[in-house]
Structures are given as structure tokens and as C-alpha cells.
Amino acid sequence: MREFKSEFRVVAVDMRGYGESDLPLSSDSYSFDSLVTDVKDIVEYLGYNRCCLVGHDWGGTIAWLFAIHYPEMVTKLIVLNSPHPSLLKSSHFFFYQLPRFPELMFSINDFKVALKALFTSRSTGIGRKGRLLTAEDLEAYLYALSQPGALTGALNYYRNVFSSLPLSQNHVRSPVLLLWGERDAFFEQEMAEACRLYIRNHFRLNIISGASHWLQQDQPDIVNTLIWTFLKEGEGRKSYRN
């Protein structure tokens, strides 16, 4: 946000189920249609009819779907380590379909074991030692996830994946920049390459050497430079500001 605020109005959103946004418990409240509509409502509430949209992981999935359903509202699409929704497949998705048990496993020892491993383990954590989350960062995540209903809200994104993704069988018509950490432990690099099959506009894929799934933490300067280059190409800031 600090990097791009000089030339853009930059807004970061706590999607439903995260941070201080609403935490509905019903999994039906997290349908991808509802999550995409949330983004549309936010953009319009802020007084815009289109935007440059940036998303990572689940945010990336919602960004892909938003660009599919509302192509006229996306000037440029930037996605970090999240494949086109038609390519989503992962064994851990099935585990999260179970009721209550995933919440129990994640909440053991006040959430600390699972969450700390997610961000710091050698296989799934942030790749560069100098970029690791501080104790204060981790405590902030622990606090947010420990609020009543917060963990269920986060897991409900997974619980809707199989019912909602058939809606994604369409192409993206916006220019797309896909940034991918070479050492992503969650998604294979071949999935990034395959995304070009679903783009009907300019598509640029940048594989960032040595970066993990958390590439914006691993290589923030490289990520920012690549985004700046993409934003300044072709359709630029003038069309965004309209």
C-alpha cells in the first residue's frame, strides 16, 4: 500500500470471515458468488466503476472470478500464487470438507502449532530468513483467528470450492500479470503455465526465483517493480482513475 499510494488509491480489504469483517458461520455465506459480489460492492461504494485488482492465494481466486464475471470493471488483473480457478486442485481441500474436525486440529495449543508452521516451516513458510514474520506479526494472526467464528469463516472458503468452481469455466478478458514463487509448496508451477489457456488478452507470467508461496514477503522489491512495469504498460493510470 505504501509503494503504490503515490499514484493510485490503494484499498486493502478484509474479506468476510477475516480480520474485523463479519464472520457468518453458515458455509452458504461464503459462496464464491457472494465473495465476488462483495468486491463489486466495495469498488462501487468507493465511487469507482473499474479498478486494477490485486490478489494473493484466496484473494487471487476471488480476483480471477471477479475478472471473469465483471470484465468491464477490471482494468488490469494482478494475481500472486493463485492459479485460474479451473485449475484449482489440492488434496487438503478434501480435509477441510469435514465438519468441525479441521477447526479442532487448528485450534490445538491456542492455534500456535499450525499457524506457526504455515508461516515458518521449511516446506510451507516464508522462504527468506530476513523476511520472516516477527513475534508481533504472528501474535496478530493468532489473535484474529482465535476470535469466535473466525477459524470457521476462513475454512468455509475451502468448503465452497467444489460447489462454486464450476462457475469459473470462462476466460479472462483483462490484461493479466501472474507472479509465482518458484518454491510454492501449495501449487505446482505447471499450474501457473497453464493459466495462459484461460486468458483472452495480454498475459505475463513471472516466476520469481527462490521465492515461496509468500513471494510478496520473500521478494517485495521485485514484486513491486514487476507490478509497476505492468501497470504502466498500455492502458495506464488515466483509465484507472476514470
Told to judge if 137 belongs to the known catalytic residues of this protein, a careful annotator would answer: no
> What's the angle, vertex CA 123, arms to CA 120 and CA 129, rounded to 5?
45
Catalytic residue among 69, 96, 213, 218: 213
Cell of 145: 483467528
> What's the angle, vertex CA 54, arms to CA 26 and CA 13, rounded to 5?
45
Catalytic residue among 38, 48, 57, 240: 57
> What's the angle, vertex CA 127, arms to CA 122 and CA 130, rounded to 5?
115
Told to judge if 30 belongs to the known catalytic residues of this protein, a careful annotator would answer: no
Told to judge if 45 belongs to the known catalytic residues of this protein, a careful annotator would answer: no
Cell of 182: 518458484
Q: Cα(172)–Cα(84) distance, rounded to whole angstroms?
A: 9
Catalytic residue among 70, 157, 158, 198: 158
- Inter-helix orientation angle 112-120/135-145, to 10°: 130
Q: Is 108 exposed, middle or buried (0-12, 13-18, 19+ CB in 10 A)?
A: exposed
Residues annotated as part of the active site: 57, 158, 213
